[in-house]
A and B are shown apart, each in its own frame.
Chain A
Amino acid sequence: MTLKAHRAHLYPIVLAATILAFAGSVPAEDKCLVCHGKPGFSKVEGTGRKINLHVDQPALLKSVHASRLCTDCHIDVVAIPHGVAQKVNCRRCHYSGNPVGAPQGELYDQYAHSVHGMAVVSGNPKAPVCQDCHGTHDVLSPDSSGSTMYKLNRPATCGKCHIEIYSTYRESVHGTALASGILDAPDCASCHGEHNIKKHLESGSRVSPEHVSETCSGCHGPVGVASKYGIKTDRTATFEDSFHGIAHKMENRTVANCASCHGFHDIRRPDDPKSSINPANIVKTCGRTGCHPEATPQFVSGKIHVDPTNKESGLVYYITKFFTILTVGTLAGLFVFIVLDLFRRAKKARGAK
């Protein structure tokens, strides 16, 4: 509320100040569009690459920045004609405590430490900046279905650069589910994170061997959304109880995690013949070098995710029950025996006095 109220006061002041300060020399909105409003307005770089300089005004007016002036972002353009405009720095507005009410937070800092931000800093010209993912003049709120960052559009946006991964993902169980409009299905960011995205082997990454099982458990764990679609949610609990899970807890990273068996971008349903855990492929998956090279079809027959406390697990369930009864019974008996023995001793000691 207060922010909005402030904004209402600020706009005329800022506008007036800008006009006063640069009166006569600053192009107003209309002036920019004299050239940039023409479809096909472009220039050819020295290298022969054609650069589109046309600004789609209807798109701009639908964007979150509809009320901004061109020069709010293109601050280096102060006269017409102007030279090569610099890349827009979004952080001019999107910083903590900015006076214009632009959404902000730690996102920019997160980005600066992300694999993308670091690549930009290290001088990689292909590394993405804000505009590469969020768009330029047409930037929309990620909740709006037209946004490049809208959940359904995100894979394609990431796929602009990560094209091979995108084509693999599109065929996976997650990719097809999302494409069919299931918004609970994971897109790239669901697993990798957004502004804080890290290299997959870095320990801070959500998909690193250290954290990948936690990330999967977000949906496939006990409170996960997977149950809504009839997918079992005991997968991470059974993994954690398995030797793989225990070794994982003991900070061993050579043991299998979710992705080791199920894959990652190419995760498919077990009944898909291309799935790494399809009965036809599972011997090969378990038998990978460094895992169980001696694996036989017999070794991998039967359920992998077994919950001994579930009756469906068959014999294992009854063995668990048997040992529970045996342990409780034996220890209770021994305990009673010890107590009786001590009681008798105490009585004898009293009698002896």
Chain B
Amino acid sequence: MDNKPTDTGTERAQIVDSLTKSIIDQARPHIDPNTSPDELEKTAAQIAERINFEANVALSELVTRYSIARPQAAVALQEPMFNRFGKNFRAQHMLMFVSVILLIITGMPLKFPELGISKFVILHLLGGIQNSTLIHRVAAVGLIIVGTWHLGYIALSRMGRTDFLLMIPRPRDIRDFIHTMLFYLGRRSSGPRFGRFSFIEKFDYWAVYWGMVVMIGSGLILWFKEAFSKGLFDIAREAHSDEGLLATLAIIIWHFYNVHFNPDVFPMSWVWWHGKLSESQMKHHHALEYAEIMNAEREALLKEQANKQKTEAQS
């Protein structure tokens, strides 16, 4: 998940840089000469960054609204893309959804055995409950692999560790949530700006985390029931059945709204496949992360220029 923008990112950093300089030049005659130049530049850079940000928003807004081609296509053509999910993470997601879909298909009919469709799925589609329970166990192994893999990923991989730390809920998330609600109710003119993970994404992540623990834990008790007591079996069965339904409904209602039926992405967001977000998506949904990336980019550029000047002066 390295967030390197493409070449246009460098170009933009240059714009911010010259804007900063021009702001300082124009302001200099009116400024107390004792002000530290570092502080001056920092403040100016922040303002320049904001101006550039708003200018970019205006640009993409215009391109989106008055594009010659289909609006979304026009944005996609012109915009740089940001890597959001790395290969490893996307592979985890793929194994996960294949497993979960199989688990739901083979599990839900047993939650609602009196429905005609349940009988159809188990008897005619899968050829009997002996097949369906076998498929359920195979898919369960898939899910257990994903769980273990992810734990390894957040412990051992650098990106996994960074992302996991960013996933931990913070007081800011509560403020963001309240802000969002106020925005929805018309009390705020705009929604909150999010970092790499919004409170919504954090909710999704931890909901899956909870679901994995409950489903795998109770599922293993059901699988190896002879090693446990009937009392524990009953508890595991109830939890497995209820959490299974909750997870299924959450996926169908919430996750599908976010990645399929939401007007922004309908019929489907392709991030799960290519792992990329467009610049306007970054600015809309992860404004703070975007600003951070841009700042880092600009600082790197300034450093490079300073080094260049240094080497030139030396020669």
Chain A interface residues (CB < 8 Å from chain B): 243, 246-247, 249-252, 292, 294-296, 298-304, 306, 308, 313-316, 319-320, 323-324, 326-327, 330-331, 334-335, 338, 340-341, 343-345, 347, 352
Contacts and interface: CB of A to CB of B under 8 A. Distances in A.
Given A320-B238, A323-B239, A344-B183, A303 B250 contact: no
A315 B245 CA distance: 20
Interface string B244-282: 011001100110010000110000000000000000000
B128 A299 contact: no
B238 A330 contact: no
Contact of B226 (A292, A308, A316): A292
Interface of B: 65, 109-110, 113-114, 119, 122-123, 128-130, 181, 183-186, 207, 225-231, 233-235, 237-239, 242-243, 245-246, 249-250, 253-254, 257, 262-263
B238 A323 contact: yes
Contacts of A295: 226
B234 A301 contact: no
A252 B230 contact: no
A331 B253 contact: yes
Given A250-B123, A315-B235, A330 B246 contact: yes
B4 to A, nearest CB: 31
Contacts of B229: 298-299, 301-302
11 contacts: A249-B113, A250-B122, A292-B225, A299-B225, A299-B230, A302-B229, A304-B230, A316-B234, A319-B239, A323-B238, A327-B249
Contact of A316 (B181, B238, B257): B238
Contact of A301 (B129, B231, B243): B231
Given A246-B129, A250-B123, 15 more contacts: A243-B110, A250-B129, A252-B129, A299-B225, A299-B228, A326-B246, A327-B242, A327-B246, A327-B249, A330-B250, A331-B250, A335-B253, A338-B257, A344-B184, A347-B186
Q: Is the interface of A mostly helix, strand, loop or mixed?
A: helix
Contact of B242 (A249, A250, A292, A320): A320
B228 A298 contact: yes
Contacts of B122: 250
B235 A316 contact: yes
A134 to B, nearest CB: 41
Contacts of A320: 238, 242
Contact of B114 (A249, A294, A299, A306): A249
A239 to B, nearest CB: 12
Contacts of B186: 347
A303 B230 CA distance: 7
Contact of B184 (A250, A300, A301, A343): A343
B249 A331 contact: yes
Contacts of A315: 231, 235
B239 A334 contact: no
B226 A294 contact: yes
A289 B119 CA distance: 28
B3 to A, nearest CB: 26
Nearest to A319: B238
A225 to B, nearest CB: 25
A328 to B, nearest CB: 10
B137 to A, nearest CB: 14
A5 to B, nearest CB: 52
Nearest to B255: A334
Contacts of B184: 340-341, 343-344
A306 B246 contact: no
A200 B184 CA distance: 66
B111 to A, nearest CB: 9
A327 B253 CA distance: 12
A131 B314 CA distance: 126
A292 B249 CA distance: 34
Given A252-B128, A302-B229, A323-B243, A334 B238 contact: no
A123 to B, nearest CB: 39
Contacts of A247: 129
B242 A319 contact: yes
Contacts of B249: 327, 331
A246 B113 contact: yes
Contacts of B233: 299
Nearest to B246: A327
A319 B128 contact: no
A343 B230 CA distance: 49
Nearest to B183: A344
A333 B166 CA distance: 24
B113 A250 contact: yes
Contacts of B119: 249-250
A323 B233 CA distance: 17
A244 to B, nearest CB: 11
Contacts of A306: 234
Contacts of B109: 250
Contacts of A341: 184, 262
Contacts of B238: 308, 316, 319-320, 323
A250 B128 contact: yes
